[in-house]
Chain A
């Protein structure tokens, strides 16, 4: 540890500010509160702050971030971002550094976000001990009053001097700009320890449970009355998520200006907001405020621990400070849940193994701009019905998409946006098919496009059908409405002459509202002619004057008629949300084992890589863990079939 006099420290900060090659930001006053912002002089820096309005996440994931820019005339000529000056960020409290470490784990796990990593690497992070404790802070209860890693330098302000811990080479190099740095004495080191211990001990606020107990407590209290009681007062304004250092969800929108330039902008989003879970068709998957309110706590205490191994609350107290009806405070809410929990058993076996945030290995070569689409060309358009068209698409790179049946892509039109679309063709072909109903911005625009037009493609994404698992078995396909296109990717694969021998009897049930909505009529006719394939079709109603030779009634009526072998069949269901509970129940009544029921679910898949948070079904990410799920794995998830 080093020590520098206050005067020399201030001169050091002045040197950094005057050094034109650096952006120097730190904690400063905003009226009676504090914010991180650009320092204009060393006097601006307020290491005596209690907490800032927004956490420093805004530096790594800005409120508004342009992901890419282009002219609409040449949408794939994406302009590169200019390199930024290195950022020196001064005065970050330990709990906020831990939140940034968690953010590292989130954004640099699996699909590594290049823009995030670039910003993070471009920052010299200087921590600071908490000298004044905010009355809502409870980092003492979350064990986040001290931090071991994630920073370059760490300051402890001792009034007339500042103790500085050097953590990295980057930090050491920066400190070389300071004059008169000496080694800290034992007394000075003891003072630092005393300040830390005092802060950790004081910022507790009577939280009744340990951070590691959040998991079991929440696990056992999904139906606690606390969620409803508290959310009755919730404004659903999103504040608690926006000011939270460990809320990372975002939305992406396209903007066009008067000159015909377009940009794709990422912005903070929050699960408390209604449209967070709204899909293009208008369904909102967490309509009830209670469900949104509960989701926030479960994400912090159960879902992220499941996925990444840490409790995603660092006890900063920002949500409690800024929630107007005062219902967002984790101390109050977790204590309420605890008090209302009849029995509470700390279940060590169920607890996810906690990871050391030290241990995160980031494969920097893996970092990619997660939202950049690849150019592709529409090679064919076929009108299927009044509302659906089939688009055949080829990547301009000439490569195969390389998907598995059941996966999806993000189709992108610059200036308009992206939409997740299931792939409707088998993996074998070089080009791939998308069946698109015009229900939203992107899909409306697609319907106006012509053969030869360009679109952007990202993907393939998600977990598709496990074609090997079904080998040697019979297959029952239940396709309701627009469920047929994604199932077609598997049906066509199974019925392909090269693969047909691997599978037994194939039964295809297809239902839609009226005969005019039938998709792939002639193709279904061809499937029917293949040996050991049985097709049954139904419509809800047949208006006068229309031709129909199939059944009339709901698709559920076809299941008992289909004569499949319950003991040896995998059953795949895809359709609108309403069909799942009914079809599944009939299959279970017919003694089909749970693990042989396979479903594909729709949610708002915005990023496709498990980052933006929109498509979550409880702890699962539909865009990564799904969209194809084994019923057995999700049957107990309350949000799966609501």
Chain B
């Protein structure tokens, strides 16, 4: 029997699911090996249980946590799909302010009575999926890489651990013989960011912002030294460190408490 797979979205742009919907000719091969039983972006079907659930988006409100926990109960394997699910996404930056401040900023004209005691506006605070339920595997990236999605899917079907690299983006960048951005006056997070994207941003001249998170043992101090040597201020370095990876900063703050 083909494994049943399902996709679910939480706070996100749904771009990662779009990557899957846009698999083009591979879609037919994917359909040969799995049954897609739930995928709101492309179909209306619902299912009672799944073999693999792919979760996109950060987990924001109590109702989201409740929904996610229900999915976890119905699936054998749970995969966090993309940066929002993996780390909390760019929206996690809003955790720097209180829920009240954020609501006021986003909905300045909203009436208190509409927001108060409304579960859709209850305590918005962004979490990664693994901060709410057990995550078996992660497909990192903003957005995810289609080839990597297929690699992970195939690995799961064959009972293998998904091949997500634990070496830095520099490795893939060097193998592609790109001109290192640091040598032309730019700076990137490649030395400590997790590879697997094929160094797509540096390959097109854009700086890596670590959307896939860091490798498991990054030498962060050395990375900060390098950015300082490039003339970046402490604020600018913090900006580099927080774009997609505010989760690590929050964790640091918590640990230093």
List residues of A whose CB falls within 8 A of some B CB: 30-33, 35, 53-54, 58, 63-64, 232-239, 242-243, 253, 255-259, 267-268, 270, 273-275, 289, 321-322, 324-325, 415-416, 441, 444-445, 448
The CA-CA distance from A237 to B225 in the complex, in Å, is: 14
Q: Closest 4 interchain pairs by CB?
A: A258-B29, A237-B170, A235-B191, A63-B175
- A233 near B222 with CB under 8 A, answer yes
Query: When the two chains form their complex, are residues A30 and B229 in contact, meaning their CB atoms are under 8 A apart?
Result: no
Subset of 21 A-B contacts with CB under 8 Å: A54-B177, A63-B176, A234-B219, A235-B168, A235-B191, A235-B192, A236-B219, A238-B174, A242-B170, A256-B155, A258-B29, A258-B150, A273-B167, A274-B167, A275-B166, A322-B183, A324-B226, A325-B226, A415-B158, A441-B161, A448-B159
The answer, among B159, B160, B182, for a CB contact under 8 Å with A324, is B182
Are A238 and B171 within 8 A (Cβ)? yes
A259 contacts across to B, CB distance below 8 A: 29
Check: B154 CB closer than 8 A to any chain A CB. yes
Residue of chain A at shortest CB distance from B221: A232
Q: Is there an interface contact between A239 and B32, defined as CB atoms closer than 8 Å?
A: no
CB distance from A496 to the nearest CB of B (A): 40
List B residues 201-225 near A (Cβ within 8 Å): 215-217, 219, 221-223, 225
Q: Which residues of B contact A258 (CB under 8 A)?
A: 26, 29-30, 32-33, 150, 153-154
Most chain B beta carbons < 10 A, residue from A274, A324, A416:
A324
A324 touches B180 (CB 8 A): yes
Query: Given A255-B151, A256-B155, are A239 and B174 neighbors across the interface (CB < 8 Å)?
Result: yes
Complex partner residue of B222 from A234, A267, A273, A416, CB under 8 angstroms? A234
Nearest-Cβ distance from residue B181 to partner chain A, whole angstroms: 10
How far apart are B168's CB and chain A's nearest CB, in angstroms? 5
User: Chain B's nearest CB lies how many Å from the CB of A562?
Assistant: 42
Expressed in whole angstroms, the minimum distance between the Cβ of A105 and any Cβ of chain B is: 24
CA distance A53 to B174 in the complex (A): 9
A35 with B160, Cβ < 8 A, contacts A239-B170, A255-B151, A324-B226 known: no
What are the residues of chain B within 8 A of A444 when measuring CB–CB? Answer: 159
Q: Looking at the complex, which one of A54, A235, A267 makes contact with B219 (CB distance below 8 Å)? A: A235
Q: State how many angstroms separate the Cβ of B192 from the closest Cβ of chain A.
A: 7
**Chain A residue, CB-CB nearest to B184:** A32
Size bin of chain B's contact surface: 35 or more
With contacts A235-B191, A235-B219, A322-B180 taken as known, whether A242 is within 8 angstroms of B174 at the C-beta atoms is: yes
A267 to chain B: which residues have CB within 8 Å? 175
Interface: B141 (CB within 8 A)? no
Assess whether B179 is interfacial by the CB under 8 Å rule. yes
* Distance A630 CA – B158 CA, assembled complex (angstroms): 42
Of all chain A residues, the one with the shortest Cβ separation from B154 is A256
B residues 129-159 near A (Cβ < 8 Å) are 150-151, 153-155, 158-159
Quick check: is B190 within 8 A (CB to CB) of the other chain? Answer: yes
| With contact pairs A54-B174, A64-B175, A243-B174 given, residues A235 and B180 touching in the complex (Cβ less than 8 Å) | no
B15 at the interface (CB under 8 A from A): no
Q: Tell me whether B3 is interfacial, beta carbon within 8 Å.
A: no
A33 vs B181: C-alpha distance when bound (angstroms)? 12
User: Once the chains bind, are B160 and A235 in contact (CB under 8 Å)?
Assistant: no
Q: In whole angstroms, what is the CA distance A322 to B229 when docked?
A: 15
Q: From residue B234, how far is it (CB to closest CB) to chain A in Å?
A: 18
A64, A257, A325 — which one has the most chain B CB atoms within 10 A of its CB? A325
The residue in chain B whose Cβ has the minimal distance to the Cβ of A33 is B179
Please tell me if the beta carbons of B170 and A53 are within 8 angstroms of each other in the complex.
no
B1-32 Cβ-contact flags toward A at 8 Å (1 or 0): 00000000000000000000000001001101
Q: How far is the CA of A30 from the CA of B182 in the complex (A)?
A: 16
**Contact partners of B219 in chain A: CB under 8 A:** 234-236, 289
Give chain A residues whose Cβ lies under 8 Å from the Cβ of B175. Answer: 63-64, 242, 267-268
A321 and B167 contacting across the interface, CB-CB below 8 Å: no
B153: chain A residues at CB < 8 Å are 258
Known: A325-B222, A325-B225. A273 touches B171 (CB 8 A): yes
User: Roughly how many angstroms separate A267 CA and B171 CA in the complex, as a whole number?
Assistant: 11
How many angstroms between the C-alpha atoms of A281 and B216 in the bound complex? Answer: 16
- A236: which B residues are within 8 A, CB to CB? 168, 219, 222
Given A258-B150, A273-B171, 7 other A-B contacts at CB below 8 A?
A: A54-B177, A235-B192, A237-B168, A242-B175, A258-B32, A274-B216, A325-B229
Complex contacts, B225 vs chain A, CB 8 Å? 233, 325
Chain B residue numbers with a CB within 8 Å of A321 are 183
- The answer on a CB contact under 8 Å between B154 and A237 is no
In this complex, what residue of A is CB-closest to B222?
A235
| A238 close to B161 (CB less than 8 A) | no
Q: Considering residues B167, B182, B183, B223, which has the most beta carbons from chain A within 10 angstroms of its beta carbon?
A: B167
Q: Among A30, A234, A274, point to the contact of B177 (Cβ < 8 A).
A: A30
Tell me if B33 and A30 are in contact (CB < 8 A): no
Min CB distance, A564 to chain B, in Å?
Answer: 43
Closest Cβ of chain B to A225, distance in Å, is 18
| Residue contact B163 to A232, C-beta cutoff 8 Å | no
For A239, the chain B residues whose CB sits under 8 A away are 170, 174, 180
**Residue contact A441 to B160, C-beta cutoff 8 Å:** yes
**Cα distance A316–B216 in the bound complex, in angstroms:** 32
> In the bound complex, do residue B177 and residue A416 qualify as a contact, i.e. CB atoms below 8 Å apart?
no
Question: Are A31 and B179 in contact, CB atoms less than 8 angstroms apart?
Answer: yes
- Residues in A neighbouring B215, C-beta threshold 8 A: 274
List the B side residues contacting A325 at CB < 8 Å.
222, 225-226, 229
Q: Indicate with 1 or 0, residue by residue over B58-88, a CB within 8 angstroms of chain A CB atoms.
A: 0000000000000000000000000000000
Among candidates A31, A32, A322, A416, residue contacting B160 with C-beta atoms closer than 8 Å? A416
Distance in Å from the Cβ of A23 to the closest Cβ of chain B? 17
CA distance A31 to B180 in the complex (A): 12
Report the bound CA distance from A289 to B155 in whole Å: 31
**Closest residue on chain B to residue A243 by CB atoms:** B174
Once the chains are docked, how many angstroms separate the CA of A63 from the CA of B172?
Answer: 9
Nearest-neighbor residue (CB-CB) of A64 within chain B: B175
A476 to B176, CA, bound (A): 54
C-alpha gap A108/B249 in the complex (Å): 50
B216 cross-chain contacts in A, Cβ below 8 A:
274
